[in-house]
Structure 1
Amino acid sequence: MRTADAGHAVPRGDPASLLDGLIAAAGASHARACALLLALCLVCFLPGFVSLQPMDRDEPRFAQASKQMIETGDLVDIRFQGEARHKKPVGIYWAQSAVVKGAEALGFDQARSTIAVYRVPSLVGAVLASLFTYWAALAFLPRRGALLAAALFSACIMISAEARLAKTDALLTACSVAAMGALARVWLGRISPGRARGRPDLTTLLVFWLAMAIGILVKGPMVPLFVGLAAVALSVKQRSGLWLMDLRPGFGLVLTLVIVAPWFVAIAWKSGGAFFGEAVGHDMLGKVGGAAEKHGAPPGTYLVVFFATFWPGAAFAALAAPFAFANRRDDATAFLIAWIVPAWLLLEAVPTKLPHYVLPLMPAVAILTLLALARGALDPDRWGAKAMAALMVVIPVGLTIGLVTIAWTFDHVVPLAGLPLLLASCAAAILAWILFARRLPERALACAILASALLSPAVFGLTQPVLAALKVSPRLAAIRDGLPCTDPKVASLGYREPSLVFLIGTDLAMLNTGAEAKEFLARGGCRLVFVTDPFLAGFLAEVPSAGGDRAAPVGRVSGFNINSGRRIDLSAYAVTP
């Protein structure tokens, strides 16, 4: 690929020129390119991987259900405490359970209660998503462009966040981009006027169908949905769907059924069909018909938050939009548009919205951005281009100010350890804007990726650990661990976050009234109750009449509940005979 910055030199030793040299060296071979992508992923994904507390509410729900799968030995049914969790298929639970069992086999005694162990499949999924983005991009771009496209995706905030969360979305994205990369090769190799037929090889077919099958086990119909929407749009453009026959659907459907059918048959038999009623009727159709779990938002929401979730590439992607429209009849551009637009419009139309729903579309956005850059379409002289590019500075500057404010407001500390990297990230983002204004878009993009590589360890590795106010459940678990008795029975009155269930254990009792707390404490033995302030008066009115030793205060935790967006105060009372 002829660099988009050719003819616009910067001084030797400038950070941008050093990055350019690194990219040139890595782009010399596929092995080097993958090694650089792996290094970038580890820098962006690993900081805070262990120290970040279980993030309510989805992450500890997944992890706790996997823990119970290990405890019971039941690899078919999925449960959270006593409740059936029939929302997603079993793939992520199997992956998490396998990692935990592997860690235990290697001698890690605390594997079941360590959230980082459950995050390993997500980390692997995020790294695979990066590498598959590189592979997919090679269908459209030479090696250097494919490397930059994968790096731009790997540096975005959303995949960085999902790599640290023990849930489905990183693995789903890996499956989605793998399937779409294979579909791209079939589309670009089909019979068309002036083009010889290029049948996909066996590797491409296996990648496609294995990605479909694993994607179904991880998150049901989502990968087939993304692939199907793109295939329909392209078939309409082609006025024929015969090109899809190159995927050998007979072979593929048999392979997919062999992989996915055993568990679906087993869960249908075990749940009496309840799994499908809950997963399809309640979870999926509930999100389509209304705002599930208070996550409703109007159409256009994803487009607005995209400037944060796809940072640092969002501004560049927005500048590539006119190129995409102008070249929409080009086969390569048409495929990327078909990958992005139909699914994006569908997700915008669904009332339930969460930022990670559009994550599987972001690899295509990154590839399209680099395609526009390679063809000289990221022009800083276009009206509004420099102002748009300046948006990349907003995120690191805003996070620096916001994190310092939060740390001081809630914990009366200044995150001094993270400040140097936070400021360095701001400087790199400003340099990226300067380079873009000087008509060096490729080096600007490289500096933007550097800004993200600095921001991730600053936020997750150095600043996040000092924000004690956000770690309510870990601090409550520490009170339990500090009791002068082993294996206490624990209950919670008013605080029902799944993170507490994961950290305390499956048998954590969830209470509703002070009378229930009185009955719980009267059962004898070592017992501990956490009580939120709104329930405290009722609790204290009941507790003195409890049998056995009186409950004594053993700690108090004040912090910020991320889900409710409010301050929370809890008191801990224990009976320690």
Structure 2
Amino acid sequence: MKSVASRRQDHAAIALPPVPHATPHAAARSHDLASWTAAALLVLLGLIWFGTLGTRSLIHPDEGRYATLALEMARSGDWVTPRLNGLLYFEKPALQYWIGALSFLSFGVSEFSARLWPGLAGFLTVLVVGFTAARLWGRETGVRALAIAASMAWIQVNSHFLTLDAGLTLFLTLALCAVLLANSGQPDARERRRWIWLAWAAMGAAVLSKGLVGIVIPGAVLVLVSLWRRDTSLWRGLHWASGLFIFLAITAPWFVLVSLRNPGFASFFFIHEHFARYLTEVHQREGAWWYYLPFVLFGMLPWTGALPWLLRKDSDEAAIAPRHLLSAWCVFVLLFFSASGSKLPSYILPMFPALALLVAMQLRNAQAGTLRRHLLFPALVWGLAALASTQSARFVSILSPAEVLAPLASALRIGAALMLVGLAISWWCLGRRRITAAVLSLALSQVTATAVVLQAHNAYGQLKSAAGIAAVLRPLITPQTPVFSVRAYDQTLPFYLQRDVVLVDFEDEFALGQQREPARWIPTLDGFVAQWNSLPHAAAYMSPFAWVELHQRGLPMRIVFQDPRRVVVVKP
């Protein structure tokens, strides 16, 4: 006979609900909630990301240059020969001009259309990073990697200005991630071949975006990894015949056509724009060997504190090969551009998606306490930025007036407040070991704070934009009125006037086009004076120094726009 205690245990056991039937439903609900949350956050990211693309004027030089090239291609219908301000321009390949022209034809001429491709390229880069991390290390790591990449300052900032580097970075990241996925786990031969083909196609698009760097970086990294690991298996699995066919099918048609139509293109493009640019200081963009180090530290925000993690060895054997490839990629990109005779901050952008993948990979084994200490660095940086913003009056000058610095100072304080809230939420989440929630909170606050500061940049950007000039000048001229650019040039002026201007005594990057088509410009100031005097009506953009010289020569001019950098006149 059973005891009372025994009978109670039996009764309790019978009364318990069948756990195996309840758990799958709860897990499914939890999975659905996580999926909807991730989707909502992605939509919110997209709204912040794309919502600010068209709210700032284009600025000189890069944004005006690439917007004008695309607009001229859209208007002329010549999709082979690029022209900048009506002059032949062969410094870069045509892919971004094509995409920009299609954007103008589809959505109209605007700042949003001009910046749509770099914005979209940056957003797609973030998605590629998240997808790759999810395939390699699981869904949760993929969500973290996406958030890390989206919030890295250098990825977000360079996706919101019109340059070639966001598009180049997208295609290089596609090539890198395709190779990672082709060599992960045990993919079947057909799947692996598709990933390798994607890598070849991405390298072709990278070359068509910015030139030989699109294949130099992936090729050099493969060499480094092979030497490091003493393993040539990566090279043996590249499907060279079909891969080269894909690469040439993408790149060769334009290069052949533009060379046939423009003798001398190949020499200028490959010798002057690649070897001379890299090996010499002909473009006057030199910098010290450590030039890029501050941009790495700033560009990784708010994840700069994770840099020491990247030196730790990973206990997961499956992560060793990706870690080697990603590390070699980052190191080579940094050293390659540091050794160049021509340096610009955006050149190292292709290393940041790889850094995001490395950080996400190391996060898998990070402790909540370690992550809490990581929050101190972005808190310090944003705190110092807010403190510096209170001293903006110290930075006022004739070239940076108070009314321009005030919005930036205010935005820094708002951004710091947003970051403080995000950091506090992340700290709270880490206290409960909710690492993914902490990563998302930190990332979203960084993205929002950076968007606020970018928006405030428009006041300063007006000093380097012709938007205001065009607004003043457009009602004063007709389509037949010639507009001159005298000893100075603003790359945004043709875009905002939606017409070419005649260069006067100014060469710079137009030298090739001016040599080929000398009738399209005026090489001397005397020639300009003679033509100005012969015209019934004309307008001119110039530096204050040029205006003083022309005023002393008695040239009839009426000033319609003036600031510390520029003077715009019309013939009275």
Tell me the TM-score normalised to structure 1 length: 0.79
Query: Cα gap change, 1:393/1:32 in structure 2, threshold over 3 Å: closer, same or farther?
Result: same
Write the distance in 2 (CA, Å) between the matches of 1:349 and 1:374.
Answer: 34
Structure 1: segments with no counterpart, 5+ residues: 1-23, 191-195, 545-549, 559-567
Output the amino acid matched with 2:491.
Answer: P
The alpha carbon displacement at 1:236 in A equals 2.7
Write the distance in 2 (CA, Å) between the matches of 1:390 and 1:417.
Answer: 18
1:37 correspondence with 2:42 = yes
Q: 2:157 aligns with which of 150, 156, 161?
A: 161
Give the fraction of aligned pairs with identical amino acids, expressed as a percent: 20
Q: Residue 89 of structure 2 corresponds to which residue in structure 1? A: 85
1:107-132 deviation per Cα after TM superposition (whole angstroms, max 9, x unaligned): x4xx2xx3432221112211111111
Write the distance in 2 (CA, Å) between the matches of 1:480 and 1:410.
Answer: 23
The alpha carbon displacement at 1:395 in A equals 7.1
Query: Cα gap change, 1:161/1:407 in structure 2, threshold over 3 Å: closer, same or farther?
Result: farther
Query: Cα gap change, 1:484/1:173 in structure 2, threshold over 3 Å: closer, same or farther?
Result: closer
Q: Residue 59 of structure 1 corresponds to which residue in structure 2? A: 63
1:456 correspondence with 2:450 = yes
Write the distance in 1 (CA, Å) between the matches of 2:214 and 2:33.
Answer: 30
Q: Residue 77 of structure 2 corresponds to which residue in structure 1? A: 73
The alpha carbon displacement at 1:517 in A equals 4.6
1:372-420 deviation per Cα after TM superposition (whole angstroms, max 9, x unaligned): 11112786399x9676565543575378557787689614374398477
Q: Residue 364 of structure 1 corresponds to which residue in structure 2? A: 354
**Does the 8 Å contact 1:179/1:208 carry over to 2?**
yes
The alpha carbon displacement at 1:501 in A equals 3.0
Query: Cα gap change, 1:352/1:327 in structure 2, threshold over 3 Å: closer, same or farther?
Result: farther
User: Which one is further off, 424-433 or 502-511?
Assistant: 424-433
Query: Cα gap change, 1:509/1:26 in structure 2, threshold over 3 Å: closer, same or farther?
Result: farther
1:336-358 deviation per Cα after TM superposition (whole angstroms, max 9, x unaligned): 21222233222222232222222
Write the distance in 2 (CA, Å) between the matches of 1:539 and 1:144.
Answer: 66
Write the distance in 1 (CA, Å) between the matches of 2:70 and 2:378.
Answer: 43
1:523 correspondence with 2:534 = yes
Q: Residue 132 of structure 1 corresponds to which residue in structure 2? A: 128
1:102 correspondence with 2:95 = no
Q: Residue 463 of structure 2 corresponds to which residue in structure 1? A: 470
**Does the 8 Å contact 1:530/1:572 carry over to 2?**
yes
Write the distance in 1 (CA, Å) between the matches of 2:314 and 2:140.
Answer: 24
Matches within 5 A, 1:112-151: 114-151=110-147
1:261 correspondence with 2:247 = no
SS in 2 for 1:496: coil
The alpha carbon displacement at 1:366 in A equals 0.8
User: Which one is further off, 324-333 or 467-476?
Assistant: 324-333
Q: Residue 474 of structure 2 corresponds to which residue in structure 1? A: 481
User: Which one is further off, 211-220 or 385-394?
Assistant: 385-394
1:556 correspondence with 2:549 = no
Write the distance in 2 (CA, Å) between the matches of 1:182 and 1:200.
Answer: 11
Write the distance in 2 (CA, Å) between the matches of 1:120 and 1:346.
Answer: 29
Structure 2: segments with no counterpart, 5+ residues: 1-29, 506-523
Write the distance in 1 (CA, Å) between the matches of 2:340 and 2:376.
Answer: 31
**Does the 8 Å contact 2:156/2:447 carry over to 1?**
no
**Does the 8 Å contact 1:551/1:573 carry over to 2?**
yes
Matches within 5 A, 1:373-392: 373-376=363-366, 380=370, 388=377, 390-392=379-381
1:121-168 deviation per Cα after TM superposition (whole angstroms, max 9, x unaligned): 112211111111112222432112111112211122222222223332
Output the amino acid matched with 1:102.
Answer: S
1:353 correspondence with 2:347 = no
Output the amino acid matched with 1:75.
Answer: W
Output the amino acid matched with 2:309.
Answer: A
SS in 2 for 1:165: coil
1:220 correspondence with 2:211 = yes
Output the amino acid matched with 2:355.
Answer: V
Write the distance in 2 (CA, Å) between the matches of 1:452 and 1:530.
Answer: 40
1:494-535 deviation per Cα after TM superposition (whole angstroms, max 9, x unaligned): 431212233234431223476445334323343212343212
Q: Residue 546 of structure 2 corresponds to which residue in structure 1? A: 535
1:183 correspondence with 2:179 = yes
Q: 2:386 aligns with which of 382, 397, 416?
A: 397
Write the distance in 1 (CA, Å) between the matches of 2:483 and 2:126.
Answer: 42
**Does the 8 Å contact 2:561/2:569 carry over to 1?**
no
Query: Cα gap change, 1:115/1:44 in structure 2, threshold over 3 Å: closer, same or farther?
Result: closer
**Does the 8 Å contact 1:298/1:351 carry over to 2?**
no
**Does the 8 Å contact 1:119/1:164 carry over to 2?**
yes
Q: 2:286 aligns with which of 287, 296, 302?
A: 296
Output the amino acid matched with 2:353.
Answer: P
Output the amino acid matched with 1:304.
Answer: P
Higher helix share: 2
Output the amino acid matched with 1:51.
Answer: T
Query: Cα gap change, 1:38/1:88 in structure 2, threshold over 3 Å: closer, same or farther?
Result: farther
Write the distance in 2 (CA, Å) between the matches of 1:219 and 1:569.
Answer: 31
Write the distance in 1 (CA, Å) between the matches of 2:461 and 2:335.
Answer: 39
1:284-332 deviation per Cα after TM superposition (whole angstroms, max 9, x unaligned): 212321335332122232222212122222222x131331589899223
SS in 2 for 1:492: strand
Tell me the TM-score normalised to structure 2 length: 0.80
1:13-35 deviation per Cα after TM superposition (whole angstroms, max 9, x unaligned): xxxxxxxxxxx979944x87466
Output the amino acid matched with 1:229.
Answer: A
**Does the 8 Å contact 2:314/2:362 carry over to 1?**
no
Write the distance in 1 (CA, Å) between the matches of 2:204 and 2:43.
Answer: 25
Q: Residue 338 of structure 1 corresponds to which residue in structure 2? A: 328
Query: Cα gap change, 1:386/1:437 in structure 2, threshold over 3 Å: closer, same or farther?
Result: farther
Write the distance in 2 (CA, Å) between the matches of 1:433 and 1:379.
Answer: 12
The alpha carbon displacement at 1:371 in A equals 1.4
**Does the 8 Å contact 1:324/1:337 carry over to 2?**
no
Q: Residue 13 of structure 2 corresponds to which residue in structure 1? A: none
The alpha carbon displacement at 1:537 in A equals 2.6
The alpha carbon displacement at 1:480 in A equals 0.7
Query: Cα gap change, 1:90/1:571 in structure 2, threshold over 3 Å: closer, same or farther?
Result: closer
1:502 correspondence with 2:495 = yes
CA RMSD of aligned residues (A): 3.5
Query: Cα gap change, 1:348/1:527 in structure 2, threshold over 3 Å: closer, same or farther?
Result: same
Write the distance in 1 (CA, Å) between the matches of 2:146 and 2:392.
Answer: 29
Query: Cα gap change, 1:28/1:321 in structure 2, threshold over 3 Å: closer, same or farther?
Result: same
Output the amino acid matched with 1:363.
Answer: P
Write the distance in 1 (CA, Å) between the matches of 2:545 and 2:175.
Answer: 51
**Does the 8 Å contact 2:489/2:542 carry over to 1?**
no
Which entry has the higher C-alpha Rg, 1 or 2? 2
SS in 2 for 1:209: helix
Query: Cα gap change, 1:421/1:506 in structure 2, threshold over 3 Å: closer, same or farther?
Result: same
Q: Residue 272 of structure 2 corresponds to which residue in structure 1? A: 282
The alpha carbon displacement at 1:275 in A equals 2.4
Query: Cα gap change, 1:199/1:320 in structure 2, threshold over 3 Å: closer, same or farther?
Result: farther
SS in 2 for 1:140: helix
